[in-house]
Chain A
């Protein structure tokens, strides 16, 4: 069996974003393996541990994204494939870039994060599924293999459902599916020697980003001391009523 986790490198959500020119400048940001993708890496490792086979990390992004693939290898993935592309690509284009690689590998299933922490897209899993002509199960919180099929629980907009799906299929991952492991020191040492195959992508995105602006609203920061809870609560309600006029 072959389990593929599709991953990307993104800025750490805690790191400060800067604008250079009219675009987000990531040159001083801390870049990490997207946390939503980590659940996919962990699930691929668990499936391999349980059912045997191979676990492969497939990354998309610029040269520097190799660090994120190394992180996945340090967690235990067997090998990596890096589809190299500088700049922004929309999910349809990313799926186009990854489809030939995934088809060649012919995996049992493919996992990828439910939402990207940089472009806030939730569509890569669905676009990949269409590219491969297989079903998609978005926002998966439980996954079990049963022969040629998988049984999975996933979230809907309201509620959740259990589905049975014929494999291969694409699953998008999220918090709750599992608890991703940390890379160990021996894992990090071993990862240095694992293969990362580089694949160039010559295509061009359909969606162009024209401008990016930081929209962090300046907050009033009027923080009251709650040692006297009744007085603090009354003052807060007065401020919300008279100053903010929201109640």
Chain B
């Protein structure tokens, strides 16, 4: 069996789940296995939608997310034996799959760009060294594999509804959630955006981000922020790009007043085109830029907004 964790936001499956499904179907074909899904619910889960994608769907109501509960649910679904477990890459998936991989003594292939099976072995490519190196790796089954977002075509529904298997997952209560701080998200999601406009400490204030938002909106993109900006409280954590934030890979990445620390580069150095605006010509970000302007961001940004508006007219 190849098991896919169908991650969801409470109403619909996440795009990453459909990418993981495509990868699961490829592996299943090469290894002569069938695909099953596991849907772990927090009250309302997209059960009907999920049933459309797999012949067998393992379901359990587990209450609020904890890595321990999710790991227990996946291990229950995997009880009859699995060759591979796949899930979209996320911080959360790595926490529960790290547990699952250890419990199954499986090869853990994180954040894979591609995956395939050959001669009974599972192969994958992934980035390492803060996104600077591409590795080709292999492991014998069972493997636990996470799929990097935006690397894989989305799976199509099967055209029939799968059988639902309701699981009884033994209760796990080692982590008590006291308070959850949800972040409001507006506009296009950062990890899926084709254009990302990021402001750094050089923006100088929270107010200055109004113009970052304006430029992002004009280009149909999302706003990003550096760690320093988030720490200063100018922008929410959900917008942070970098090693401790989100990894993005848009066609166009515009870095405004960003110096280019290694931790930030790790989150965006795979972007197709990188544009930097910084008054310091020695800023490391320029070494990683395709285009750039050495200048005061407070003068250049309004001019950029005007120039884009002019282009659109």
Contact = CB atoms under 8 A, between A and B. Distances in A.
Contacts of A125: 95, 98
A162 B67 contact: no
Contacts of B300: 226, 229, 232-233
Which 9 residue pairs across A and B have the least CB separation, nearest first?
A: A226-B295, A126-B98, A123-B98, A13-B262, A233-B303, A130-B102, A135-B174, A206-B107, A220-B290
Interface string A169-180: 100001110000
A154 B123 CA distance: 33
Interface in B84-104: 90-92, 94-103
Given A119-B128, A136-B98, 5 more contacts: A122-B94, A134-B174, A159-B238, A162-B177, A246-B195
Contacts of B269: 216-217
A239 interface: yes
6 contacts: A92-B106, A126-B95, A161-B177, A206-B108, A208-B137, A214-B133
Contacts of A241: 311
B290 A13 contact: no
B183 interface: yes
Interface in B280-302: 281, 286-296, 299-300, 302
A14 B259 CA distance: 14
B71 to A, nearest CB: 7
Interface string A106-150: 000000001101111111111101110011111100000000000
A92 B136 CA distance: 18
B140 interface: yes
Contacts of B273: 240, 244, 246
> Among the interface residues A24, A214, A217, A227, which one has the most CB atoms of the partner chain B within 10 A?
A217
Contacts of B227: 175-176
A58 to B, nearest CB: 17
A224 B136 CA distance: 38
Interface residues of A, number: 84
B60 to A, nearest CB: 19
A118 B128 contact: yes
Given A123-B108, A164-B176, A219-B290, A158 B130 contact: no
B160 interface: no
A160 interface: yes
A185 to B, nearest CB: 27
Consensus secondary structure, chain B interface: mixed
A169 B227 CA distance: 27
Contacts of A226: 277, 279, 293-296, 299-300
User: In which size bucket is the chain B interface?
Assistant: 35 or more
Nearest to A99: B102
A236 B178 contact: no
A207 B291 contact: no
Contacts of B106: 92, 206
A200 interface: no
B80 interface: no
Interface string A14-28: 100100000010000
Contacts of B65: 156
A91 B250 CA distance: 29
Contact of B243 (A11, A115, A166): A115
A153 B272 CA distance: 35
A156 B93 CA distance: 10
A217 B290 CA distance: 10
A151 interface: yes
A206 B304 contact: no
A120 B130 contact: yes
